[in-house]
């Protein structure tokens, strides 16, 4: 409604007044949006509460009155700080990060035949998305399948691989852990390798080493040696 | 003395606009400045800090919802703070009533500022919204990300596309598909 001109809005409201089906649809849409927003607001309130309980310094009356001005200043500070931080880390990545970048190479994915069986089709279409770089779409499809089959090692392995491809190591770890715990899985050894790399990138060296040792990756020995050298620095 | 957030706005329109836009800083200050009073009330009336947190957050969301739906239009910060506190207070009294072991101080019960006429319709709407919230939790992470960026953070499809590595057209399609999926999940539960 906010994007309509006054004339369009008046015409829409006129139509709405005489059309019960449209009224229902508009109301349903409104409630869907309220529900989405309340879900997000609920999460926000938990964060605000933590801040209240950890005694965030109270803003003065004057500073509140200058809220709009301060907001821009704060935003500018955040941008500058973020810029400095990004610059610092871009120019000086941690040793773990350097090793991760050296040894990580995305899983190339599986061959696809685009079977007509519905679940296989969804899986394989997602695999095409994964390989062509449309990783968000792949994750979306695999997540749906994984919800119905939470223990499926193929889905868990490729969800982990997809999150790694997007540089979300923290999201990849739980999926890869499931496959790493499943010795019978054909993806078990690879899951150990990628899990080890993800843990390394996250700064968890000891667990990373344990996982990498269980993999059979050709670069396993070299990576373990580099981590050992890093520990000695 | 602490001052409520709306003092920072010269007019009522700015305050309502900021709340409708889910302005993070405004919501945060509103929470921070009004929670202590509600907590004091609950603690003085047989409640715990956890109870205070629950009823205050319920009240906060109820006030926010009524502002979104244009059912409440706060004239100033005092009105908004008073509104949230009234809701929290009545919610706490209702809880105490439900627990027969407790006795509650007597107050005027005729006013429930967030509940007006059409209670039956409001109850149906509330059931629907609760269902949406449950289903949203079970929606895939990608869909939650897109819908929350678009509807809660009010980001444009172009911005969403740049954050997610999608084209603007794909972001639009995905937003539509995700909303459809959420609608279907609500209908089937």
Specify the pLDDT at position B6: 43
User: Which residues, including other chains, have CB under 8 Å from residue B168's CB and lie 6 or more apart?
Assistant: B157, B158, B161
**CB contact at 8 A, A125 and A145:** no
Tokens 């606009």 belong to which residue? B17
B112 occurs within a structural domain: no
Whether residue A12 is found in the same domain as residue A45: yes
pLDDT tens-digit readout, A181-193: 998 888 999 999 9
| Closest chain A residue to the Cα of B32, Cα to Cα | A52
Do both A70 and A28 map to the same domain? no
Average pLDDT over residues B144-167: 91
Residues B12 and B90 occupy one common structural domain: yes
CATH number at residue B127: 1.10.10.10
Q: CB distance A66–B9 less than 8 Å?
A: no
- Among A117, A145, A150, CA closest to A130: A145
- Whether residue A31 and residue B22 make contact (CB cut-off 8 A), yes or no, is no
Residue B169 reports pLDDT greater than 80:
yes
Residues A138 and A112 in one domain: yes
User: Does residue B106 form part of some domain?
Assistant: no
Q: What is the pLDDT of residues B12-62, one digit of tens each?
A: 677 888 888 998 888 988 899 899 999 999 999 999 999 999 999 999 999
Please report residues of B whose CB lies closer than 8 A to that of A64: 3, 5, 7-8, 29
Instruction: Report CB contact under 8 Å: B28, A171.
Output: no
- Domain membership of residue A1 (yes or no) is no
Residues, chain A, total?
233
Contact B141 A139 (CB under 8 A): yes
Q: Do A65 and B7 touch (CB under 8 A)?
A: yes
Q: How many H helices and E strands in chain B?
A: 8, 0
- Structural domain contains residue B93: yes
The Cα B106–Cα B109 span in angstroms is: 8
Q: Does ipTM surpass 0.90 in this model?
A: no
Contacts of B53 in chain A (CB under 8 A): 49
Q: Which residue do the tokens 């506190």 mark? A: B85
Please report which confidence band the pLDDT of residue B107 belongs to, taking 50, 70 and 90 as the band edges: very low
| Of B77, B80, B63, nearest in space to B9 by CA | B77
DSSP letter at B9 equals -
How much is the pLDDT for A61? 33
Residue of A nearest to B36 (CA): A52
Q: Does A18 touch chain B (CB under 8 A)?
A: no
CATH number for position B18: 1.10.1740.10
What domain range is B79 assigned to?
5-98
Q: Give the pLDDT score at A85.
A: 56
Which of A27, A74, A143 faces B141 most closely, judged by CB atoms? A143
Residues B84 and B9 in one domain: yes
More confident residue, B172 or A69: B172
Do A112 and A218 belong to one domain?
A: yes
**B135 shares its domain with B55:** no
- Residue B178 located in a structural domain: yes
Residue A14: give the domain boundaries: 6-53
Question: Rounded distance, CA B33 to CA A182, Å?
Answer: 51
A50-74 pLDDT, tens digit per residue, is: 988 875 444 433 344 444 555 556 6
The answer to whether the Cβ–Cβ distance between A134 and B140 falls below 8 Å is no
A138 CA to chain B: closest CA distance, Å? Answer: 10
- DSSP letters spanning B50-107: HHHHHHHHHHHHHHHHHHHTTS---SSHHHHHHHHHHHHHHHHHHHHHHSTT------
User: Least CB-CB distance to B27: which of A34, A44, A65?
Assistant: A44
Whether B152 and A41 lie within 8 Å, measured CB to CB: yes
* Shortest CA distance from A72: residue in chain B: B25
A62: contact with B, CB 8 A cutoff: no
| Tokens found for residue A156 | 């868990």
Domain count of the fold of chain A: 3
B91 and B161: one domain?
A: no
Contacts of A217 (CB under 8 A, 6+ apart): A189, A190, A193, A223
How many Cβ pairs within 8 Å bridge chains A and B? Answer: 132
Residue A57 sits at the vertex; the CA angle it makes with A55 and A58, to the nearest 5 degrees, is 110
Residue B182 to residue B138: CA distance in whole angstroms: 9
Q: Is residue B109 part of a domain?
A: no
Q: In A, which residues are within 8 Å of B147 by CB distance?
A: 36
Domain count, chain B: 2
Task: Tell me the average pLDDT of chain A.
Answer: 81
């Amino acid at each position: 409604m906010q994007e309509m001109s006054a004339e369009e809005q008046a015409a829409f409201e006129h139509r709405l007044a005489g059309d019960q089906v449209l009224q229902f649809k508009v109301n349903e849409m409104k409630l869907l949006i309220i529900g989405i927003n309340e879900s997000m607001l609920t999460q926000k309130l938990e964060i605000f509460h933590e801040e209240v309980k950890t005694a965030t310094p109270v803003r003065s009356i004057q500073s509140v009155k200058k809220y709009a001005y301060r907001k821009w200043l704060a935003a500018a500070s955040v941008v500058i700080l973020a810029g400095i931080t990004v610059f610092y880390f871009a120019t000086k990545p941690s040793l773990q990060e350097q090793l991760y970048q050296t040894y990580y190479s995305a899983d190339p994915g599986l061959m696809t035949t685009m079977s007509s069986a519905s679940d296989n089709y969804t899986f394989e279409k997602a695999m095409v998305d994964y390989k062509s770089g449309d990783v968000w779409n792949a994750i979306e499809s695999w997540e749906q399948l994984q919800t119905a089959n939470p223990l499926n090692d193929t889905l868990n392995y490729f969800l982990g691989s997809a999150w790694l491809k997007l540089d979300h190591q923290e999201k990849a770890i739980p999926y890869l852990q499931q496959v790493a715990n499943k010795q019978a899985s054909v993806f078990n050894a690879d899951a150990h390798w990628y899990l080890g790399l993800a843990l390394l990138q996250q700064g968890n060296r000891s667990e990373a080493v344990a996982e990498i040792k269980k993999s059979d990756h050709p670069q396993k020995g070299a990576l373990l040696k580099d981590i050992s050298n890093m520990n000695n620095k | 003395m602490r001052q409520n957030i709306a003092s920072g706005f010269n007019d009522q329109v700015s305050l309502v606009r900021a709340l409708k836009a889910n302005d993070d800083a405004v919501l945060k200050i509103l929470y921070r400045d009004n929670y202590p009073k509600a907590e004091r009330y609950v603690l003085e009336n047989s409640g715990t800090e956890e109870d205070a947190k629950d009823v205050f957050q319920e009240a906060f969301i109820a006030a926010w919802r009524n502002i979104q739906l244009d059912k409440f239009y706060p004239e100033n910060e005092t009105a908004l703070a008073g509104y949230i506190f009234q809701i929290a207070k009545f919610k706490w009294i209702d809880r105490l009533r439900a627990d027969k072991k407790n006795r509650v101080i007597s107050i005027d019960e005729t006013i429930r500022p967030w509940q007006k006429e059409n209670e039956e319709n409001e109850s149906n709407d509330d059931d629907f919204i609760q269902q949406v919230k449950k289903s949203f939790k079970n929606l895939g992470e990608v869909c939650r990300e897109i819908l929350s960026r678009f509807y809660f953070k009010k980001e444009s499809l172009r911005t969403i596309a740049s954050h997610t590595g999608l084209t603007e057209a794909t972001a639009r399609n995905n937003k539509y598909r995700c909303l459809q999926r959420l609608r279907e999940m609500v209908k089937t539960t």
